[in-house]
Amino acid sequence: MSNEAVIVDVLRTPSGRGKPGGALDGVHPADLLATVLRELVSRNNLDPTLIDDVIGGCVSQSGEQSSNVTRTALLSAGFPDTVPGTTIDRQCGSSQQAAAFAAQAVMSGSADVVIACGVESMSRVPLGSSAGGQDPFGTLMHARYPDGLVSQGVSAELINQKWNLGRDALDSYAARSHRLAAAAAERGDFSGEIVAVTRADGSVIDEDETIRPGTSHASLAGLRPAFRTDALAARFPKLGWHVTAGNSSPLTDGASATLIMSAKRAAQLGLNPRARFHSFTVVGSDPLLMLTGVIPATQRILSRAGLSIDDIDAYEINEAFASVPLAWLHETGADPDCLNPRGGAIALGHALGSSGTRLLGTLVNHLEMTGGRWGLQAMCEGGGMANATLIERL
């Protein structure tokens, strides 16, 4: 019989705009993650020598995020040098996969205490910089896809075409994300999950910079399409080109972490678990559409768990683009009111390597505040993949 893997705590930094001048652009990514790791251990009065491993997600593993940024961060946090760490890349689902690996290690009995975490400083290590100006695809990949794959923004446009999603629907959804996130922030819903970050000048950042409370359908309507080019328009003549910066997630800086352990070890340490991991899945999907994997991932995980979509109290479906949750809603028939009820990445930001554990924290906190039992998290990922995780509040 496997061990039960429980979530003891989940924390994150505020979301900073991932460009020069953003609130967190002066903080080294290893320091950003170290801030969360240090607080996670301190808040739970955990002896860090008990940590079996730290598994972190990061997408752009170059420059300041190279050389195993997770190990660098845990040492920067003051953990004993006996604590190991590794950094993984499953694109936007990196830290969600880190949490799955951590929980699976606990469930298998090969570990008792694992931290899953993630970091991305998009202001300091720009998206795409890890390729170093080189082509990441070899001749065999180009032979399989001779017309070439496309960016995620164009994939979102292809989703719009397939599911008949127009500009009004996308902008209305984006405005909803900001409205819900702003209301949640105003109520103090994020206060229990945010760790303040102190900058070099001594100023303290303790609120999400990416939420825009005044965002409306009207204010979004004037934005220009972000991904249309003449060449792409010639290749895809039927696309409406509805994706803008406003109905997409913003470039973001941030870090997050969750403390995972066996239920037995939590009891020994006098810690009260907040939720348990129930099921996991990961799927591959069409790399041209790229972002649709959340649909089969949801179907597979519910089938494995013996549950229906109506059994789930809240779903966190990452808002890489408004197109993704809207297509997901269409295919699953889920209750829109249970989808990203505190807003999603369009408002709360998408710090790529950190987003998985950021979503997990938001989901756990929402279930606790509302008394819900089941929570579903799904993340679309570059290259055509998706992770799904099912948790149960305790």
Mean pLDDT within 87-93 = 98
The CA distances from residue 265 to 4, 74, 108, 390, in Å, are: 10, 21, 14, 22
- Binned at pLDDT 50, 70 and 90, residue 1 comes out as very low
| Contact between residue 363 and residue 314 where contact means Cβ atoms under 8 Å apart | yes
- Give 314-340 pLDDT, tens digit per residue: 999 999 999 999 999 999 999 999 999
**Cβ density class 331-357: b for 16+ within 10 Å, e for less:** ebebeeebbbbbbbbbbbbbbbbbbbb
Domain limits of the chain? Answer: 278-393
The residues that are catalytic are 92, 350, 380
Which CATH fold would you assign to the domain 278-393? Answer: Peroxisomal Thiolase; Chain A, domain 1 (3.40.47)
What is the overall mean pLDDT for the chain? 97
- Binned at pLDDT 50, 70 and 90, residue 36 comes out as very high
| Contact between residue 253 and residue 98 where contact means Cβ atoms under 8 Å apart | no
pLDDT for 2: 77
Mean pLDDT within 222-246 = 98
CA dihedral 145, 59, 350, 375 (to 10 degrees): 90
| Contact between residue 215 and residue 207 where contact means Cβ atoms under 8 Å apart | no
pLDDT for 236: 98
- Give 144-192 pLDDT, tens digit per residue: 999 999 999 999 999 999 999 999 999 999 999 999 999 999 999 999 9
pTM for the full model?
A: 0.98
d(CA 175, CA 153): 19
